[in-house]
Amino acid sequence: MLLGAALTMVLGILTPSQALSSVNLDVILFLISLFTISSALEVSGFFSYLAYRLLISSRSMNKLILKVFGLSALLSLALSNDGIAGSFTPVIVSMRRQAKISVKPLLYALAFGVTIGSVALPVGNPQNLLIALESGMPKPFILFAFYLLPPTIINILITYPLLLLLFHGSNDDIVINETRRPEELLVNKRLAYTAIIILLTLIPLYFITDVFNVSPYLTPVTLTFMGASIIYLASGSDRRVVAHNVDWTTILFFMGLFIVSEGALESGVLNVLANYLPQPTTLIGVFISGLFLSQVISNVPMVALYIPLMKELGVLPSNSVIWIGLAASSTIAGNLTLIGAASNVIISEASEKRGGEGFGFLEFMKYGVPITIVNTAIYYAWLSYVHIPI
């Protein structure tokens, strides 16, 4: 992505000042702040503590699948799905040693959980954040919650029995071979409590600032940045570790992505593509595009390219359902194939790196296709028939 950004300047499509001005600093600052909170929860040992709690409190694989799937979906509502995927995978792989169980169903539960859960709010994943901040839609947190939270809850409730059906032969009893106190995994309680309190404070503040114009300076971006600053202030000797653990590669990716997207718009490439792609001015058009183009270039680049294209074709900020449809389809596309979402690749590689099993491409589709069909139908039906005046 950075090579593409460099080429836009070397080939004269953009000047360096145009390239730098195309980088949305609101998105970059929001991502850095959100990744800081997620990093603090991982560095403090909170994610490991939580996952081990799940293991020792479950007596069967069905219950453990439910807890991994439900918790990962819940956490992905407010934290980056990629961060949850990367933090939880090592702990799930360690369950294989601790309880002599097959962790493959749990890895799929994690993959599907972080994808479905992240659909509902702008902070769940990077593409939702892009749409919320770049589309210009009014009150994005309120709109996302009203339009996407109910069908997301329905999908969570329906996907769990589907998982049990797909992994019907893996309901073994769990016998833990290695016992220890879960508190031992919580290596920095102060940091964990600080991050949790900040996160629980920020979620209602996002909605309050959407509803009430308290101050033009109190926005989701500035509030999250303040929360991240408090974490660095309170993290003591772990401050550098928290900063180092932030997903800086995603930040660099986004900077390059903004420049490439601006270059595509400036050069006229998007206008040419518009003749060959489904019209992104209708709900069915953005659903088809989001679902299938995300398998080719992944969902974040797909959304970054589609936002300026939709604006060029006259999709206004007030066309909330179309923008929300792009968010839902491009995100749920991650359940279709292994490369549909970065979180799938993160889980697979993190598992293989630690001696576990990764996802096979065709194997992933065997489980992902039926789940994606059901999930997509629910989101499309809900957005087609439910219109909420804001």
Residues 120-136 have pLDDT tens digits of 999 888 899 889 988 88
Q: Rounded to an integer, what distance in angstroms lies between the CA atom of residue 371 and that of residue 162?
A: 7
Q: Rounded to an integer, what distance in angstroms lies between the CA atom of residue 84 and that of residue 339?
A: 17
Tens digits of residue pLDDT in 127-179:
998 899 888 888 888 999 999 999 999 999 999 999 999 987 665 666 665 56
Q: Rounded to an integer, what distance in angstroms lies between the CA atom of residue 214 and that of residue 204?
A: 14
Q: Rounded to an integer, what distance in angstroms lies between the CA atom of residue 145 and that of residue 124?
A: 11
Q: Rounded to an integer, what distance in angstroms lies between the CA atom of residue 299 and that of residue 292?
A: 9
pTM, two decimals, is 0.80
Helix (H) or strand (E) holding 202: helix 189-211
Count of CB atoms situated within 10 Å of the CB of 125: 29
What per-residue confidence (pLDDT) applies to 346?
82
Report the length, in residues, of the chain: 390
Q: Rounded to an integer, what distance in angstroms lies between the CA atom of residue 206 and that of residue 250?
A: 23
